[in-house]
Amino acid sequence: MSKLWGGRFTQTAEQWVDEFGASISFDQQLVKEDITGSIAHVTMLSKCGILAEEEAETIKKGLETLLAKAENNELDFKVEYEDIHLNIEKMLTDEVGAVGGKLHTARSRNDQVATDIHLYMKKEVTSIIEQLNRLQSVLVQLAEKHVETIFPGYTHLQRAQPISFGHHLLAYFWMFERDKERLSESLKRINVSPLGAGALSGTTFPIDRELTAKLLDFGAVYKNSLDAVSDRDFLIEFCSNASMIMMHLSRFCEELILWSSQEFQFVEISDKYATGSSMMPQKKNPDMAELIRGKTGRVYGSLMTLLTVMKGLPLAYNKDMQEDKEPVFDSVKTLKGSLAIFTGMMEEITVNKDKMEKAVSQDFSNATELADYLVNKGIPFREAHEIVGKLVLRCIENHIYLLDLPMNIYKEASSCFEEDVYDFLHPYKVVERRNSLGGTGFSAVQAAIEEAKKRI
């Protein structure tokens, strides 16, 4: 079978070589973008008088037929036509005859593939932003229910200070808010048209790049033809943003895994998002959370793949760049899947308020508060720290907690202690009072919820 570019060849590659070079197995995902890009291109060619109106009309009709077929999954792609661009061009000439061969006037696959992937990225980034929004609203709803649910806050995974569970959830809300900002900001660079850059140097035909950009709803055009066909930094940026989101999801998953263990029992993951063991009848495993944590590695891997593919490439297009697609497609699929599963899992999660509250009544997470109590009475913080440290040690030795210490022991430690210390130390009160801006106090969290709602 002769190639669409076969004129200067006297020998043909064997099939296995063709298979190695072909990208159709994966770039067929770009079929709609490819045809849409071609429709804009041919419209422009006719408007600029490069193609006769009837010719352009015939080509456009043929492309529209192919687009309809693509929507119904009726197109049959072939490895012998290498990639999505040549497969579509072949199908077009089969559909409309030799005039189909005029579509590629003033265009190269190099600006064509770049256009396709910009269109694809724009669509996917927009839908990922919507998914993040959805997750954020689930988090805010849950946070609203748990403003006054107190549980241990940790540093070094050691009990640190009691906090509001709603406050903890909102911490993730803000991470996802920044992720959303990063994606929105990146759209500025994605929403740029490479079409009309040609193979690398532009074209002698009187094309109108602004017009194709407008027809494809791009906000700008690349200013340099070499840059237009060589740029993949918008894909690297996407993989970096995707990695960041996966990292945030992964940390959250790690917490859910810990919290749903017998040791914590702070939450229960719905049966709908858990699995059993083939051997141990009692098991309920947080598989979905673990998988998201695991899949984070894939997305990081894709980022590294792209950075490495691009690092040594001379300008302009190189076939190496065909390797950009699979990691990007995989990252999009993995990220969207993870966001959907995670959001569903959070919607169905059961929060064991009692276990959380019980945890903070049986620990020393109110020790800072006890030191602050003394500070309020004029004792320097460092000295208060030492006094409380000794009291904690005494409790540990006697298997009790700070609220169990009798008044005489408190008095012995410092004459500043009075009866009101018991109320002051109550974990609920401890949390309630922390109303510094961005703190875990109930009114601070309530204010943060109002603020958060404005972002979704």
Contacts to ligand ARG by CB under 6 A = 23, 27, 83, 109-110, 113, 317, 319, 321-322
What is the sign, positive or negative, of the torsion defined by CA atoms of 431, 432, 434, 437?
positive
Q: Which is nearer to ligand ARG, 139 or 309 (CB)?
A: 309
Q: Write down the least CB distance from residue 241 to ligand ARG, Å.
A: 22
Report the alpha-carbon distance of residue 359 to residue 152 in Å, rounded.
Answer: 7
Please say whether the beta carbons of 335 and 246 come within 8 A.
yes
* 120 burial type by CB count under 10 A (0-12 exposed, 13-18 middle, 19+ buried): buried
Q: Write down the least CB distance from residue 114 to ligand ARG, Å.
A: 9
Torsion of CA 183, 188, 194, 195, to 10 degrees: 100
H or E element that contains 302:
helix 287-310
Q: Which is nearer to ligand ARG, 27 or 89 (CB)?
A: 27
Q: Write down the least CB distance from residue 128 to ligand ARG, Å.
A: 22
What interhelical angle do 381-398 and 367-376 show, nearest 10? 140
Annotated catalytic, 156?
yes
Q: Write down the least CB distance from residue 314 to ligand ARG, Å.
A: 14
The distance from CA 185 to its chain's CA centroid, rounded to whole angstroms, is 14
H or E element that contains 152:
strand 150-155
Q: Which is nearer to ligand ARG, 51 or 321 (CB)?
A: 321
Q: Which is nearer to ligand ARG, 112 or 161 (CB)?
A: 112
The distance from CA 106 to its chain's CA centroid, rounded to whole angstroms, is 37
Q: Which is nearer to ligand ARG, 12 or 184 (CB)?
A: 12
Q: Which is nearer to ligand ARG, 42 or 86 (CB)?
A: 86
Report the alpha-carbon distance of residue 138 to residue 144 in Å, rounded.
Answer: 10
Report the alpha-carbon distance of residue 190 to residue 118 in Å, rounded.
Answer: 6
What interhelical angle do 233-259 and 325-347 show, nearest 10? 30
Q: What's the CA angle centered on 347, arms 341 and 349, to 5 degrees? A: 100
Q: Write down the least CB distance from residue 317 to ligand ARG, Å.
A: 6
Report the alpha-carbon distance of residue 37 to residue 71 in Å, rounded.
Answer: 16
Residue 183 has a CB neighbour count (10 Å cut-off) of 22
What tokens does 225 get?
């033809």
Report the alpha-carbon distance of residue 420 to residue 42 in Å, rounded.
Answer: 82
Annotated catalytic residue within 156, 399, 415, 436: 156
Q: Write down the least CB distance from residue 83 to ligand ARG, Å.
A: 4
What tokens does 173 get?
């809300």
Q: Write down the least CB distance from residue 58 to ligand ARG, Å.
A: 25
Please say whether the beta carbons of 232 and 321 come within 8 A.
yes
DSSP state of 8: G
Strand partners, 150: 164
Q: Write down the least CB distance from residue 22 to ligand ARG, Å.
A: 8
Q: Which is nearer to ligand ARG, 59 or 229 (CB)?
A: 229
The closest of 398, 350, 390 to 374, measured between CA atoms, is 390
Report the alpha-carbon distance of residue 415 to residue 74 in Å, rounded.
Answer: 85
Q: Which is nearer to ligand ARG, 227 or 348 (CB)?
A: 227
Annotated catalytic residue within 184, 261, 277, 443: 277
Instruction: Show which residues are catalytic.
Output: 156, 277
